[in-house]
């Protein structure tokens, strides 16, 4: 009896000691909420990248989509560093890895910056070449589709990349077992989850829906008993994170779906309470930077789901925040004391180019070139006229292909539309090069706006290649001819040629001479 009593006494003391230990031991990883875990990963990432720059895109995505309270000026610092890098490489981030462009587009839209104009370079148009986009493999198509869908970007008509082509490419690469992989015939959980994320915007399409459902069954079957996943033979955090992110993109709560209820249990086994980050594999003693990046944006994706916010890669909620291009004044800039570019010294339009730049109508590049033979885009043509004529807008333009542009640009298009400078149509095609006949009509309409009366010529200009054009185009070209704004060459106007920057400079300067007299 005494022995039994001693044993009970010892057992009682053990239970008391255990209870005391449970009180003082930090909360276990599995008990951390997704909100609290996100806060610690946010601090981990800020500490990791105190001066964020190109290459830190996933950190930026994780911080901004989870709405982490970053230090003041943090995103501005990132954008400044990115702009410097983009300019230093002249807009060419990589000759082969086009996911570099997609990744940067995603990050920039997430902080409300327009990737169509980063230091004067359009990163979105880099995705126009389909063969280059998919050179890396299917993941190239995944991220290109995600990047285009962030703000609903439209590529130029001449682009070989289209959304439909990307979708069909992804669907065609689905393996017989229902998943995706970079190589081989067996599904990889990471690649399968990323495919779902890319396709999630189109989940209601019959073909996409069937593909996603098959992929979800595959991910369910690939799970370990505790909700873990293996990639390349290794049980790791990133695979679990990608699956949770994929489910969130489909509005599926991993904690409530019976097929995936163990995911967060597995996810939090990689959480490192000591430093607030996540390990790549359980054998690591400290958190892994790359694993923490993915865990952090996964937490952001999940928290956005339960808070009924737009999904991780749908950054449309940031479109109106701080346009990447500085606000333009409503009048031309004050003339600089001297304008000179190294590539126009012997150019026929040298004086017109210098005059246009002095008036603030056109600008040169950071390498002291003007690039006179580059084509002028439709939005550039509009912006120049809007600034030159001090146009403003009171409502939005009805074009269906300008939603991805920043507010400044949309206001300029709207101002030109209200002034009746633009042809009424469904689309504006802002990034497309402008034709000579199109600029002629725009300038003729601007003359009508400025003077209050249209120019009705007595005779059509004696140019041998305009007879088949519309009456509007003929009259507009005749307006340019009669007022010596543009005479053509050798009896031809070449109406369907693109306008170069040099010709644009000459035409705008001559036009202003007419309307300012």
- Mean pLDDT across the chain: 85
- Comparing 14-23, 100-109, 442-451, which segment has the lowest mean pLDDT? 14-23
Lowest mean pLDDT among 20-34, 78-92, 357-371: 20-34
**Single pTM value for the model:** 0.59
The pLDDT of 54-74, averaged and rounded, is 95
Instruction: Provide the pLDDT for residue 320.
Output: 59
> In the chain, where are the structural domains located?
32-318, 349-516
DSSP state of 430: T
Return the bridge partners of 121, or none: 118
Question: What are the pLDDT digits (tens) for 470-494?
Answer: 999 999 899 998 888 988 888 899 9
**Residue 55's pLDDT is what?**
92
- Nearest C-alpha neighbor of 123 from the set 82, 163, 160: 82
Mean pLDDT on 304-308: 90
Would you say domain 32-318 falls under CATH 3.40.950.10? no
Dihedral angle of Cα 401, 404, 410, 413, to the nearest 10 degrees: -30
Residue 396 has pLDDT above 60, yes or no: yes
User: Quick check: helix, strand or coil at residue 399?
Assistant: coil
Enter the DSSP assignment of 126.
G
pLDDT at 6: 43
Which of the two residues, 74 and 29, has the higher pLDDT score?
Answer: 74
In the chain, % of residues over pLDDT 90: 51
For residue range 234-244, what is the model confidence (pLDDT) as tens digits?
999 999 999 99
Residue 387 has pLDDT above 60, yes or no: yes
CA distance 160 to 38: 40
User: Max CA-CA distance within the chain?
Assistant: 126
Cα distances from 403 to residues 22, 75, 115, 117, 398, in angstroms, run 55, 23, 13, 15, 10
CB-CB contact of 486 with 440 (8 Å):
yes
For residue 441, give both structure tokens. Answer: 């009509």
The strand pair at 234-235 and 230-231 is best described as: antiparallel
Residue 3: count of CB within 10 angstroms of its CB: 7
| Residue 228 pLDDT exceeds 70 | yes
Inter-residue long-range contacts of 176-180, CB under 8 Å, 24+ positions, other chains counted: 177/218, 178/214, 178/215, 178/217, 178/218, 179/215, 179/218, 179/219, 179/222, 180/138, 180/215
């Amino acid at each position: 009896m005494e022995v039994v009593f001693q044993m009970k006494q010892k057992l009682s003391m053990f239970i008391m000691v255990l209870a005391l230990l449970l009180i003082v031991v930090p909360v276990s990883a599995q008990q951390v909420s997704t909100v609290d875990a996100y806060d610690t990963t946010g601090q981990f990432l800020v500490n990791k990248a105190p001066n964020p720059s190109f290459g830190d895109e996933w950190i930026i995505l994780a911080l901004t989509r989870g709405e982490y309270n970053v230090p003041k000026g943090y995103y501005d610092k990132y954008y400044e560093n990115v702009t410097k890098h983009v300019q230093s490489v002249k807009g060419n981030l990589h000759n082969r890895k086009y996911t570099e462009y997609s990744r940067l587009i995603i990050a920039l839209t997430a902080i409300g910056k327009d990737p169509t104009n980063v230091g004067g370079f359009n990163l979105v148009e880099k995705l126009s070449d389909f063969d280059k986009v998919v050179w890396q493999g299917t993941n190239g198509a995944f991220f290109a589709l995600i990047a285009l869908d962030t703000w609903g970007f439209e590529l130029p008509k001449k682009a070989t990349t289209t959304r439909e082509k990307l979708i069909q490419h992804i669907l065609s690469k689905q393996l017989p077992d229902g998943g995706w992989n970079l190589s081989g015939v067996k599904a990889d959980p990471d690649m399968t989850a990323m495919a779902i994320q890319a396709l999630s915007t189109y989940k209601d399409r019959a073909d996409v829906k069937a593909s996603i459902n098959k992929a979800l069954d595959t991910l369910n079957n690939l799970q370990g008993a505790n909700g873990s996943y293996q990639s390349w033979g290794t049980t790791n955090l990133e695979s679990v994170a990608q699956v949770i992110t994929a489910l969130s993109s489909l509005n599926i709560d991993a904690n409530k779906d019976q097929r995936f209820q163990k995911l967060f249990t597995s996810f939090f086994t990689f959480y490192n309470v000591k430093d607030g980050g996540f390990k790549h594999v359980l054998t690591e003693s400290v958190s892994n930077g790359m694993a923490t990046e993915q865990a952090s944006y996964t937490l952001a994706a999940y928290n956005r789901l339960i808070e009924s916010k737009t999904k991780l890669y749908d950054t449309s909620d940031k479109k109106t925040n701080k346009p990447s291009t500085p606000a333009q004044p409503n009048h031309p800039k004050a003339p600089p004391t001297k304008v000179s570019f190294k590539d126009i010294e012997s150019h026929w339009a040298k004086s017109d180019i210098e005059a246009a730049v002095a008036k603030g109508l056109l600008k040169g590049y950071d390498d002291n070139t003007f690039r006179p033979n580059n084509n002028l885009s439709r939005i550039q043509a509009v912006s120049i006229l809007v600034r030159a004529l001090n146009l403003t807008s009171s409502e939005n333009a009805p074009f269906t292909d300008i939603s991805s542009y920043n507010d400044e640009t949309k206001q300029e298009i709207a101002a030109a539309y209200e002034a009746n400078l633009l042809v009424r149509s469904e689309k504006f095609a802002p990034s497309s090069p402008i034709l000579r006949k199109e600029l002629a009509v725009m300038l003729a309409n601007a003359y009508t706006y400025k003077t209050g009366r249209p120019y009705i010529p007595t005779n059509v200009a004696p140019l041998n290649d305009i007879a088949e054009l519309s009456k509007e185009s003929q009259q507009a070209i005749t307006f340019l001819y009669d007022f010596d704004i543009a005479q053509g060459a050798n009896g031809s106007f070449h109406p369907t040629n693109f306008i170069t920057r040099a010709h644009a400079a000459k035409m705008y300067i001559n036009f202003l001479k007419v309307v300012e007299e």
